[in-house]
Structure 1
Amino acid sequence: MGERSLRRRVLLGAGVAAAVAAVAGGTGLAVLKYQIDHYRDPGRQRIAAAGYRQRVARVGEVAFSYAEGPDNGPPLVLLHAQHMDWYSYHLVLPALAESFHVFDVDYPGHGGTVCPAGYPMTAERIGADLAGFLESVVGQPAHVSGNSSGGLLAIWLAANRPRLVRSVVLEDPPLFSAEYPRIARTIADRSFRTCANAVREGTGDFLLYWIRASKPFFDKNVGPGAARLLIEAIKEFRRARPGEPVEIGLLPNDTVRQFLRGLDQFDPRFGAAFHDGSWHAGFDHASALGRVGCPALLIQANFSVLADGTLDGAMTGDDAARALALLRRGTYRRIDATHVVHLDKPQDFVRMVTGFVVTGNQ
């Protein structure tokens, strides 16, 4: 998630700035507490009405948490972005359920999925365990759609377990840019560096650690005290609803709500492995793309390159062109959207996925 796009489309906004002012002035505290305690994301009811149920399945050493929709078509496995969880797809789950049998999975390091101590945060290990999930839970070849790091895992599956994958939708994956050492020249690595620091320092509450580490950014782009307000809001939420994923309704933008929810359940070792390159041990993007034999839809969202050469986004135009040239059966779509396309442009995302899978890729 790029810093400029976070500022432009994602971060907080006037609602939080007003709340900061209210707290600073000593007014509105009771109202704020009530809103935090009683907020329920409206997507919950829509997902339940569409027939989704949350489940847990043990595959080897991993207890996978996932949401499963009704059997209304071929299996579609969803792999969220790094720092998020299965619920980040809540805007598109009802529509996707009309055409697919959806399995929306928290992969290791994220959400409610539980791994053993010392679990290796590598594409090779996570990909192998996801392959086990496809074999034992999905039970037949599936279409796999992944956003960001989830897109990289979709590529790993298609390249290394081709019999399990019918097609892949690659939603703005950081192809080539996430490989070491180039990762150091991306905006995303600022968050991954924070992950590495958290692992080294042994912090026990990564969400609050991440917000404190980002305090200058919040102060500059939202207002003085914004980070403190978020921390207090999160503490109040946890007091009122212990054990639930964080939902902070005073945030006006859905992407940042999902980002904080995901960070609340995130293992920072995952991000640290991107920072030091260990996540990619044995997983070369170019080699893997060349082995993907199934149909692949490559979706590229907005990006920019800062004056110092830092990439703010997942891929440059050259990266996307290189990836498309390596894919044997690749289709490219460019969209005016932020990195998590299914949150920024949910209707466009559903249309692209269903059009590609149902009518266009076989």
Structure 2
Amino acid sequence: MNFNNMVDTKWKLILFIITTFVLIVVIAIFGLLIYINHYKNPDDQKLADAGILEKTIKVGDVTFNYAEGPDNGPPLLLLHAQTLDWYTYSKVLPELSTKFHLFAVDYPGHGKTKVPADYKFSANEIGADLANFIENVIQEPAFVTGNSSGGLLTTWLAANKPELVRAIVLEDPPLFSSEYPEIKRTVADKLFTSSYNAVNEGDSNYLNYWMKNSKEFFDKYTGPFSQQIVEFVVTSYKDANPGQPVSIPFLPASVQEMIRGMDYYNPNFGASFHVGTWNEGFDHAEALQKIKCPTLLIHANFDITENGILDGAMSQEQADRAVSLVKDIQYVRVDAAHVTNLEVPDQFVQIVEDFFLDN
């Protein structure tokens, strides 16, 4: 074989290897998309087996979307974290439903709950509407647990509608840290700034807007260079499943739930934190001092960056201050990220059951 033939054979082999590799990658991506686009979350069946049904009801000007379990005990209202929806509790609802009559609600600005176009996203407005939900749907005083912004709304209910609340669990609420201008010294304000910008720019698809502007988030939670991959997969899933909640199986559970929630999220909710209107008329210290019912504060992990920015819901100083202001309160420190019901579901269930069933 002469030299020219050897070179020609070598390049043919390289071309064959490259072509084969590209073909394998294309087939793998195509197969992955088929799997993802037809994926059914196994938690759906667990919820159905537990008799937990998704429902809607109009109360005043708000059409609430919520999940209700069978009447197996005292009523328990669950209020999710900001940007999420009721489904974030799917890991804990089946077990809790054996001892409580569950109501997991999409509060205004989230999930499939509908509000008027001029709705004011504030603690006072949303808290009053949730009180109406308890009065008209649950129809008796309830135990209430809320995560993050849901914890702030739980605080509002206990302080302002004590006749509707038996006892409360505050799951890592941003007490004091989310008040203006303190909110500016938290990592959370990145999301609120994004929400504010989306509103001002008139972007009608917040999930897409958030994904395109969250490279730092995806680098941290799903790995380097993952942002565009996640965008592509989410877009493909939505195209294949129009009108259905987004469910991407290979992502971390917390990211899965955030993407699902972001697809429904109204950025006006986050924007109101950014400019300080969400807490107007709702002073956290005053509200905590008004709480008379038994209270449990769950405090998750947090960090203070080298620039003095709070990465978490509350610093230890803020958590200690909250405890000092409530007369009947217990405190538990949990080694988990912010959404403890998703991060450590078994521990969350045990904490909630032990506390509420003793009160």
What's the secondary structure of 2:54's corresponding residue? strand
Q: Percent identity?
A: 50
- Counterpart Cα distance in 1 of 2:221 and 2:162: 45
Within 5 A, what are the aligned runs for 1:314-325?
A: 314-325=313-324
What's the secondary structure of 2:297's corresponding residue? strand
- Counterpart Cα distance in 1 of 2:217 and 2:82: 20
Partner of 1:276: 275
What's the secondary structure of 1:36's corresponding residue? helix
Establish whether residue 179 from structure 1 lines up as the match of residue 179 from structure 2. yes
- Counterpart Cα distance in 1 of 2:223 and 2:330: 43
Partner of 1:256: 255
TM-score by length of 2: 0.92
Cα deviation code 1:188-238 (max 9, x no counterpart): 111111000000001011001001001254357655542211111112111
Q: Label 1:176 to 1:228 Cα distance change in 2 as closer, same or farther (>3 A).
A: same
Partner of 2:246: 246
Q: Alpha-carbon deviation of 1:257?
A: 0.4
What's the secondary structure of 2:145's corresponding residue? strand
Cα deviation code 1:86-133 (max 9, x no counterpart): 000000001100110000000000001000101100000000000000
- What RMSD in Å do the two structures reach over aligned CA positions? 1.7
Establish whether residue 347 from structure 1 lines up as the match of residue 346 from structure 2. yes
Q: Alpha-carbon deviation of 1:24?
A: 12
Within 5 A, what are the aligned runs for 1:322-333?
A: 322-333=321-332
Partner of 1:309: 308
- Counterpart Cα distance in 2 of 1:177 and 1:204: 29
- Counterpart Cα distance in 2 of 1:23 and 1:313: 44
- Counterpart Cα distance in 2 of 1:222 and 1:74: 39
Question: Which structure would you say has the larger RCO, counting Cα contacts within 8 Å and 6 or more residues apart?
Answer: 1
Establish whether residue 60 from structure 1 lines up as the match of residue 60 from structure 2. yes
Q: Alpha-carbon deviation of 1:138?
A: 0.3
Of 78-87 and 24-33, the range deviating more from structure 2: 24-33
- Counterpart Cα distance in 2 of 1:256 and 1:162: 35
User: Which segments of 5 or more consecutive residues in structure 2 lack a partner in the other structure?
Assistant: 1-20
Q: Please identify the structure whose Cα radius of gyration is greater.
A: 2
Partner of 2:151: 151
| Aligned partner letter, 1:234 | V
Q: Is the 8 A contact 2:186 2:309 kept in 1?
A: yes
Cα deviation code 1:300-321 (max 9, x no counterpart): 0001111110001001111111
- Paired residue total: 339
What's the secondary structure of 1:65's corresponding residue? strand
- Counterpart Cα distance in 1 of 2:354 and 2:235: 43
User: Which segments of 5 or more consecutive residues in structure 1 lack a partner in the other structure?
Assistant: 1-20
Within 5 A, what are the aligned runs for 1:67-216?
A: 67-216=67-216
What's the secondary structure of 1:104's corresponding residue? strand
